[in-house]
Amino acid sequence: MGGDSSSAAAALVVVEKLEVVNAAGVKLVGILEEGRKRREELCILCHGFQSSKELPALVTIAAAVVQEAGMSSFRFDFTGNGESGGEFAYGNYWREVEDLRAVVEFWRARGRRIVALIGHSKGGNAVLLYASKYQDVGIIVNISGRFDLRRGIRGRLGGKERLQQLKEEGFLDVRDNAGNLEFRVVKQDIQERLSTDMHRASISIPHQCRVLTIHGSADELVPVEDAHEFAKRISNHVIRIIEGADHKYKLQQQEIASLILDFLQSNPDNKEANLKEKKIRPNF
């Protein structure tokens, strides 16, 4: 990827920070990257838990989409994360789906064609859930999304005793190693997460939607088995396991970008897999 032309290609990229207002009136901040010649084809990138649009892997993928695939990219912060407004909340998978919906509608109203939704970690869950509900984007890329949402709660919140405290008191404050408050969890947050059914979502994604799942064999947060669970249930699915990669792909960012580009370009016309878009009249 890139080769000796990468510096020249980077010089031709236009970067613009934009705000999208979701249905709740919250401002979502994102970065649009595109070549100097505007293209209608757009890929949208979604970050994971307590992360942001500046996750290095997402930045690498976004740049590759523009410089190598000749499309535009938009990576944004979910509600309560990064530069976006609103309050951070644990769980809230479907709220992030609606954030993503607001972004999709924003760009369609401006004449863009959404080629792919690309999500890392919890963002992988968001793009899969979106595909199961709205069924109007032809390519989905799930990078290290979690299939079994019952897992990972205890480790994230501090162990069995902390979960018991949440059960007894109705809330739990999660702090960093310095004692600073990171976020508060309430019972409803846990209930919402546990009620989010990735099995049902997976089997609800239409066959016309092409799904790529990428996972690292050395993922320390989400077991690689979860990628295989998605593969069992999504009808039009390709799985790629990167040997030795951790959850954030610190040493394999170019490799995942290449895998994604290959997947995008294996659909030569970059059509939305015959899925019908909801027609939205431009509002500007």
In terms of average pLDDT, the best of 10-19, 28-37, 96-105 is 96-105
pLDDT band at residue 24, thresholds of 50, 70 and 90? very high
How confident is the model at residue 162, as a pLDDT?
83
Each residue's pLDDT tens digit, 136-146:
999 999 999 99
More confident residue, 12 or 278: 12
pLDDT band at residue 47, thresholds of 50, 70 and 90? very high
Each residue's pLDDT tens digit, 208-265:
999 999 999 999 999 999 999 999 999 999 999 999 999 999 999 999 999 999 999 9
How confident is the model at residue 3, as a pLDDT?
47
Q: Measuring CA to CA, which residue among 270, 278, 257 is closest to residue 40?
A: 270
Q: What is the mean pLDDT of residues 195-208?
A: 97
pLDDT at 161 over 90: no
Structure tokens at 96: 């992030």
* Phi, psi for 257 (deg, rounded to 5): -60, -45
pLDDT at 105 over 90: yes
pLDDT at 85 over 90: yes
How confident is the model at residue 228, as a pLDDT?
98
- Measured N-to-C along each axis, helices 253-265 and 56-67 cross at an angle, to the nearest 10 degrees, of 40
How confident is the model at residue 275, as a pLDDT?
59
- pTM greater than 0.85: yes
Q: Locate the domains of the chain by residue range.
A: 8-149+198-265, 150-195
How confident is the model at residue 274, as a pLDDT?
47
**In 10 A of CB 40, how many CB atoms?**
14
Give the position of tokens 């059914």: 197
pLDDT at 174 over 90: no
- C-alpha–C-alpha distance, residues 243 and 96, integer Å: 30
How confident is the model at residue 278, as a pLDDT?
41
Superfamily (CATH) of domain 8-149+198-265: Alpha/Beta hydrolase fold, catalytic domain (3.40.50.1820)
Q: Measuring CA to CA, which residue among 225, 231, 222 is closest to residue 202?
A: 231
